[in-house]
Amino acid sequence: MPFYADSDKEEIRSRVDIADVVGECVHLKKNGSNYVGLCPFHSEKTPSFSVAPAKGMFYCFGCHEGGDVFAFVQKYYNYSFTEAMEYLADRAGIKLAAGAGSPDSGRFREKRDALIEINTEAARFFHDRMKNTPEGQKAFDYFRGRGLKEETIVRFGLGFSPAGHNELFRYLREKGYADDLILESGLAVHYDSGTTSDKFRNRAMFPIFDMRGRVIGFGGRVMGEGEPKYLNSPDTPVFIKRENLYAYNIAKKSRSRRLILCEGYMDVISLHQAGFDYAVASLGTSLTSGHVSLIKRLGVDVYVCYDSDKAGTNAAAKAIGLFGEAGVRTKVIHMDPAKDPDEYIKSFGADSFQERIMTAENSFLFLMGVKSRDYDMSDPTEKTAFYGMLAEEIYKAGGALGWKSYTEAVCKKFNIDIKAMEQAVSEAYRKMPVVTADTRMEEFTGGEPEALADRRTARAKVRGKKEESIFLPQKKLLSWLAEEPGLYSCIKGVITTGDFTGDAYVTMAGLLFNAIESGNVSVPAVVEQLPGEYKAAAAECFSTVLEDAYKSDKGKAMTDLIVRIKEIHIKDLEENSDIGDMSVQQRLMVMRSELQKFKQKGIRF
């Protein structure tokens, strides 16, 4: 466990604007004193993600993820708390005390930082050798011959690794880096013969950056003859191929709501140069669930743009399957008659590529096209089997409501009689396994009685509305006080924690009131003190937005909130107490009397 001082955390919170941190990962729009955007933690079309800079909190009203800036960095970057502390401290220019954190985390941090330094130094070395040596000219000419502008070459840090035996290894040694760290970086290889050699030799070099823009590895294309044509850094403590994407550090800042997934470095660079700054590629490996998780955080639609050959088509089909399992929407950009995006841009230009984006194919139709290759359409038996397969896939994809639109699209693509296909889909439905009322709703594909589903939905809505009506005034009051703690002096004694309903809100109110009275109000610090089961409710509470009317007539708004909170508390006491208990009746009489007096007097500012 890390051992950071509370003072370190509070200093970071005070010097880091959560809206800036989140804004690098999510496209935010101003909404009153808060910001809103599409949640990076689940797929959505309508923004339900809110950031409250004044309170240092974020919250998603859709998936209920919330917390302070540390929680966001941990969740978004998949960091431990220690890593989030270090990342934010570095961002704020704060030097953490030596020995902060656990001994293990400290040692790992030192090694990680050293490996990143080595990679950064190697990137400088490769770029310098390309620009300032006769041997490196061939790599520069290669990049220019591929249509890259000099500013693009500089932007992506492209370079050249000399053909010599161990030039980089000796260079890094001279810079003071230990042999074992150079070897662990993957930039050099030690052989049983006792010799050490550079891993990359005579190659055009592509530095690979992590999501923070730090060099963590390399890809290299051989100049002239040699195998393999492309070579990547091995996995290291700072570079894991299955969890990183080329140019993700740039694409995640794009304002586009799309992401283009390519296969190669040059595809990505060409697209970025042409203005499509939301293109990425996997790093010498097929797409993995780690890549999908990384992309899902952005909350964007994915446009798969792989090579047009059979291998590219099969890889696209696999990628669509992975995205589908994760609930990420996909489309397919066709590159024919070009081989890949790089060739397409050079041959037809950016405007034509934009048209391909706008006419990208629905991923379901693409997959059906891929599957059609397994059937011989000249054979009646196989053709019938193909239609049967289509019918089953249409119903599974469209469900009880959408199968007609899928049927129309499939029939248009494969020139099939729509009446015949509708009948085939109906037959496929009858063959589906019976789904009982006990089946979980998220697994339901069409078999649960409609009335039961409606009743479940209705009950959930009623329950949700009832809970919201009870807690909403409390949320608004606490959120308001967190934003304007100076108002507390006007209501101190008028309302106490005893007037709140629900253990979570009673505890929240007590901690917030104490913080205000101590003169040190930090909403994240308040939330941090809550039991774990209350933290999500607190994140939602302090993200509650107040209507403009609350600010235009503060006295009336505050009075109305307090009245409603007290009325709900009285009603809760009536419903959950022994009505025959005289002490309870006397207490209720006193509370009603005091509430009536308060209504007449109200709050004055």
Whether pLDDT at 438 is above 80: no
Residue 3 confidence (pLDDT): 53
Strand, helix or coil at 185?
Answer: coil
Q: Answer whether 125's CB lies under 8 Å from 158's CB.
A: no
Whether pLDDT at 551 is above 80: no
Q: Which residue has the tokens 């209507």?
A: 547
Per DSSP, the residues of 485-532 read GGGHHHHBTTB-GGG--SHHHHHHHHHHHHHHHHT---HHHHHHHS-G
Residue 2 confidence (pLDDT): 45
Determine the residue type at 274: A
Per DSSP, the residues of 191-249 read -TTS-EEES--SEEEEEEE-TTS-EEEEEEEESSS-S-SEEEPPP-SS--GGG-EETHH
pLDDT tens profile 277-324: 999 999 878 899 889 988 887 878 999 999 999 999 999 999 999 998
Cis status, amide bond into 40, omega within 30 of 0: no
Whether pLDDT at 587 is above 90: no
Residue 546 confidence (pLDDT): 79
Look up residue 217 and give its two tokens: 């590895």
Residue 354 confidence (pLDDT): 97
Average pLDDT over residues 500-511: 92
Residue 211 confidence (pLDDT): 83
Provide the mean pLDDT of the chain: 86
pTM of the model: 0.67
- Greater confidence, 421 or 552? 421
Residue 432 confidence (pLDDT): 62
Residue 550 confidence (pLDDT): 67
